[in-house]
């Protein structure tokens, strides 16, 4: 069994799909089965630092291999922010709508040609003995002016990937996983998970 | 007469003091005397771009020499943001308390050793004929965890300059002007203003 270090149901669903497609057949459980594990402070200054902090904390607490990710939206006009602050951009952790509305208001005056952005993800595996592996993935695009679509979570309704006209919230889960930052990071990590856990 | 391209009373008072100390004796008026000049969109990606945009717009509209500045708080942990977005960080332009509260919430988990920040200012002069001059100034410090002090405006209550224990909102106007980003930028610009306008 592998523990996914998140209580975000949207993320758990995505990771199950991505890892199953990558051939990982071990059962996966989310943190909802471990109510005794409290909030893990994301004090890192990079996605990789935070992913490793979470994976190690959960591997240690559960005695099981743990997978974590940290991801976010990096907006060029905001020097790469919200970045590691994506989930708490509005000051309230996990309020997707408040975070997204704030971001749109902040860059309201930024013209279309300066609205490039990318989703970034660091995916980490940690074992109870301290072994760790990490991989990164990106999805380049641009931030539009009003949310569109109901799929995904977080900033999905406002990012249009390069070469597409739909937001990532307007893609099917399969389409999104095929190109997403999280898909790319976990597909890069999956062979390392398989090697370590066989 | 020189027009100061701002309606911010706190900024007008500061600039009068700074420019008078720098020996500039021409009468200064703020935009409150020019209600016909609407909001000037700050579409630049740098303080210098925005200061020049505002100075040129006001010089053109009034037919008088115009002085403008753009300034803000650059937080290392936020990759230099809020930066040019400082006055609209909360999504509402000019709500000092909302901007400051949001910033403190965003970096609430950032440990003390990573809370370095600086105030930055670009000061610009533009003449109706298109002549322009610009100068920059900085004040290095760190962001504390709760506001202190009633002086100044903007983010003054949360920045403690290096070498001090008080926030810039706890300094006297004279103390603040002597070290501030705006003081430094306008003292660097003042001789150029004097040369051009004599």
Task: Name the residue among B43, B90, B109 with its Cβ closest to that of A41.
Answer: B109
* Whether A91 contacts chain B with CB within 8 A: yes
- Tell whether the model's pLDDT for residue B169 goes beyond 90: yes
Annotated ligand binding at B8? The verdict is yes
Contact A106 B85 (CB under 8 A): yes
Contact B109 A42 (CB under 8 A): yes
* Whether B85 contacts chain A with CB within 8 A: yes
Segment A127-146 shows an average pLDDT of 97
- Tell whether the model's pLDDT for residue B26 goes beyond 90: no
**Chains A, B: CB contacts under 8 A, how many?**
61
Annotated ligand binding at A71? The verdict is yes
Share of chain A above pLDDT 90, in %: 74
Number of domains in chain B: 1
Annotated ligand binding at B155? The verdict is yes
Q: What pLDDT, in 10s, does the model give residues A76-97?
A: 999 999 999 999 999 988 899 9
What is residue B43's predicted lDDT score, i.e. its pLDDT?
84
What is residue A5's predicted lDDT score, i.e. its pLDDT?
93
Confidence label for A22 from pLDDT (cuts 50, 70 and 90): confident
What is residue A165's predicted lDDT score, i.e. its pLDDT?
97
Instruction: Kindly name the residue from A70, A112, A129, A162 that is annotated as catalytic.
Output: A70
Q: Domain of B111: which CATH number?
A: 3.90.950.10
What is residue A143's predicted lDDT score, i.e. its pLDDT?
98
- The closest alpha carbon to A48, from A107, A118, A135, A170, belongs to A135
Determine contact, residues A27/A12, Cβ cutoff 8 Å: no
Segment B41-58 shows an average pLDDT of 93
Examine the residue annotation and report whether B162 is marked as an active-site residue of this protein.
Answer: no
Task: Name the residue among A43, A85, A110 with its Cβ closest to that of B106.
Answer: A85
Range of the structural domain that residue A48 is part of: 2-196
Q: Which of residues 26-45 of A touch B (CB under 8 A)?
A: 41-43, 45
Q: What pLDDT, in 10s, does the model give residues A36-87?
A: 998 888 888 899 999 999 999 999 999 999 999 999 999 999 999 999 999 9
Question: Which pair of tokens denotes residue B28?
Answer: 């200064």
Annotated ligand binding at B7? The verdict is yes
Chain B residues within 8 A of A89 when measuring between CB atoms? 106
- Tell me what the pLDDT averaged over chain B comes to: 93
Distance from CA of A80 to the nearest CA of B (A): 7
Which of A74, A105, A111 should one mutate to test binding to chain B, selecting the residue with the greatest count of B CBs within 10 A?
A: A105
Annotated ligand binding at A142? The verdict is no
Residue A61's CB is within 10 A of a number of other CB atoms, namely 18
> What's this model's pTM, rounded to 2 decimal places?
0.86
What is residue A14's predicted lDDT score, i.e. its pLDDT?
82
* Whether B77 contacts chain A with CB within 8 A: yes
Q: Which residue has the tokens 């592998």?
A: A2
Contact B45 A88 (CB under 8 A): no
Q: What pLDDT, in 10s, does the model give residues A106-117?
A: 999 899 999 999
What is residue A197's predicted lDDT score, i.e. its pLDDT?
86
Long-range contacts, stretch B75-78, CB < 8 angstroms, 24+ apart: B75/B103, B75/B107, B75/B115, B75/B116, B75/B117, B75/B143, B76/B114, B76/B115, B76/B116, B76/B117, B77/A45, B77/B107, B77/B110, B77/B114, B77/B115, B77/B116, B78/A79, B78/A81, B78/A85, B78/B103, B78/B106, B78/B107
Q: What pLDDT, in 10s, does the model give residues B110-163?
A: 999 999 999 999 999 999 999 999 999 999 999 999 999 999 889 999 999 999
Phi, then psi, of B139 in degrees rounded to 5: -135, 115
* Whether A151 contacts chain B with CB within 8 A: no
Segment B100-115 shows an average pLDDT of 94
What is residue B119's predicted lDDT score, i.e. its pLDDT?
98
What is residue B107's predicted lDDT score, i.e. its pLDDT?
94
Instruction: Kindly name the residue from B33, B69, B70, B109 that is annotated as catalytic.
Output: B70
- CA-nearest residue to B93 within chain A is A106
- Tell whether the model's pLDDT for residue B198 goes beyond 80: no
What DSSP letter does each residue of B11-74 carry, written as one string?
HHHHHHHHHHHTT--S-EEEGGG-TTS-PPP---SSHHHHHHHHHHHHHHHHSS-EEEEEEEEE
Of A101-105, B20-24, B32-36, B139-143, least confident by mean pLDDT is: B20-24
Task: Name the residue among A78, A79, A106 with its Cβ closest to that of B91.
Answer: A106
Question: Which pair of tokens denotes residue B184?
Answer: 């430094």
Share of chain A above pLDDT 70, in %: 100
What is residue A55's predicted lDDT score, i.e. its pLDDT?
97
Question: Does the ipTM exceed 0.95?
Answer: no
Segment B50-73 shows an average pLDDT of 96
- Tell whether the model's pLDDT for residue B165 goes beyond 90: yes
What is residue B8's predicted lDDT score, i.e. its pLDDT?
81
Comparison of pLDDT for A108 and B22, the residue scoring more: A108
- Tell whether the model's pLDDT for residue B177 goes beyond 80: yes
* Whether B145 contacts chain A with CB within 8 A: no
- Tell me what the pLDDT averaged over chain A comes to: 93
Chain B residues within 8 A of A106 when measuring between CB atoms? 85, 88-89, 91
What is residue A20's predicted lDDT score, i.e. its pLDDT?
87
């Amino acid at each position: 069994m592998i523990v996914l270090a998140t209580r975000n149901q949207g993320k758990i669903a995505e990771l199950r799909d991505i890892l199953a497609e990558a051939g990982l057949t071990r059962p996966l459980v989310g943190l909802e089965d471990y109510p005794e594990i409290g909030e893990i402070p994301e004090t890192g200054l990079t996605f990789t630092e935070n992913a490793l902090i979470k994976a190690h904390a959960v591997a240690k607490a559960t005695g099981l291999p743990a997978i974590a990710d940290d991801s976010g939206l990096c907006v060029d006009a905001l020097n790469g922010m919200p970045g590691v602050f994506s989930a708490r951009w509005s000051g309230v952790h996990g309020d997707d709508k408040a975070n997204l509305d704030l971001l749109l208001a902040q860059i309201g005056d930024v013209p279309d040609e300066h609205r490039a952005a990318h989703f970034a993800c660091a995916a980490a595996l940690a074992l109870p003995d301290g072994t760790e592996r990490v991989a990164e993935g990106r999805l380049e695009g641009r931030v539009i002016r009003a949310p569109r679509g109901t799929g995904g979570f977080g900033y999905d309704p406002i990012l249009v990937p390069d070469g597409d006209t739909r937001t990532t919230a307007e893609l099917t889960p399969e389409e999104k996983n095929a190109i997403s930052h999280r898909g790319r990071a976990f597909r890069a990590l999956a062979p390392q998970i398989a090697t370590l856990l066989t």
